[in-house]
Chain A
């Protein structure tokens, strides 16, 4: 039973205080929503939790350890990490080098049902398809925490439901999830914070 604890977190971008006094706790099997309009700091918050940004104040505890390793965290950012001028297949090959994992391309594409695009250039994919391809990285490794920055952007209703089902399944396996969004999502979030 793991626990992710955020205590009194504050973050500065340059000389601007983006947010402060953020505290919450999430346990295994729970999903947390960070809601806020554009520019409210939700990306900064989730990136601070992910370890990209050093917090100005406050602490992050995973499993009651001051986890600076972030080895257990899987972060999927707003940008898709896809090279537009390369094919889907080649992009996956590049990812397999980055993650030091041998990826079965067909299995990888099957996650979000993208198999038909295997040889197409990424530039020809729709934004929603690119997002789904990017989200497939969640399943490369068995991590304990998912941090998703704006995962619902560009996803239509059907795909949003699909993503939510996958998140629920991950919760059932004991995973912790944090998502950011600027619109309301129909999902049983355990708690939410509005920036």
Chain B
């Protein structure tokens, strides 16, 4: 199946991206102002809680990215249009990076709160496993030389991973309540002050713009890559 994307469409992606880069920058400036300066500190954790504004959007978007990955794979199965595999391939490293950021910031948040760099609580552990699911997907693409076959196999793996996410979440939650009943996770923050919610949402929006920006860059690279491979074969 040939990639039916014209060169002008690639140019459009590039054009749209320049708007996105500006928006991302602006939203981040606004978001960071609110999160770092204008929002109240937590009455227990003080200012160290502000890392939540970086950690939580990362975590949300890492899960969101995998959902997009899985949906792209499923749509590929239905339509067999190769662009959807490229969607999945492009979003994988981005999702992996967000997962890593979530893990590191979660760890940094944990240090002043619990005194240790890592706690085996349900959410962090699930994030860790999600990171490995991303890693598996990315490595699989790299290890199969024939790109067409790699696309088809990775699509299957993407879906398998997605099916496993609820299973893993369920298992890790169960395991966690078994072993650490007394730990109250400061990371979940169930009832949240409106003054904290707004910066959080702004940061999430900023992250989303960033995600789309980088995604489009990666997608362009992948499309051009595919076209070059196709041309060299002919």
Contact = CB atoms under 8 A, between A and B. Distances in A.
A touches B (Cβ under 8 A): yes
Interface of A: 14-16
Contacts of B2: 15
Nearest to A13: B148
Interface string B147-183: 0110000000000000000000000000000000000
B155 to A, nearest CB: 14
8 contacts: A14-B146, A14-B148, A14-B149, A15-B1, A15-B2, A15-B148, A15-B230, A16-B233
Nearest to B233: A16
Interface in B9-57: none
A20 to B, nearest CB: 15
Give the interface residue-count category, chain B: under 10
Contacts, number: 8
Contacts of B149: 14
Interface of B: 1-2, 146, 148-149, 230, 233
A14 B1 CA distance: 7
Nearest to B82: A15
A15 B151 CA distance: 13
B83 to A, nearest CB: 13
Contacts of A16: 233
A15 B149 CA distance: 11
Nearest to B234: A16
Nearest to B230: A15
A102 to B, nearest CB: 38
A15 B2 CA distance: 7
B160 to A, nearest CB: 23
Contacts of B1: 15
A15 B82 CA distance: 11
Nearest to A14: B148
B86 to A, nearest CB: 14
Nearest to A12: B1
A16 B148 CA distance: 11
Contacts of A14: 146, 148-149
A59 B29 CA distance: 65
A177 B146 CA distance: 32
Nearest to B146: A14
A14 B233 CA distance: 12
Contacts of A15: 1-2, 148, 230
Contacts of B230: 15
B14 to A, nearest CB: 25
A15 B230 CA distance: 9
B232 to A, nearest CB: 12
A173 to B, nearest CB: 41
Contacts of B148: 14-15
A47 to B, nearest CB: 16
A139 B186 CA distance: 73
Q: Which 6 A-B pairs have the closest CB atoms?
A: A14-B148, A15-B2, A15-B1, A16-B233, A15-B148, A15-B230
B153 to A, nearest CB: 13
A14 B230 CA distance: 11
B3 to A, nearest CB: 9
A182 to B, nearest CB: 20
A15 B147 CA distance: 11
A54 to B, nearest CB: 15
B156 to A, nearest CB: 17
A15 B233 CA distance: 10
B114 to A, nearest CB: 52
Contacts of B146: 14
A16 B149 CA distance: 13
A31 B148 CA distance: 35
A14 B2 CA distance: 9
A16 B146 CA distance: 13
B94 to A, nearest CB: 27
A16 B2 CA distance: 9
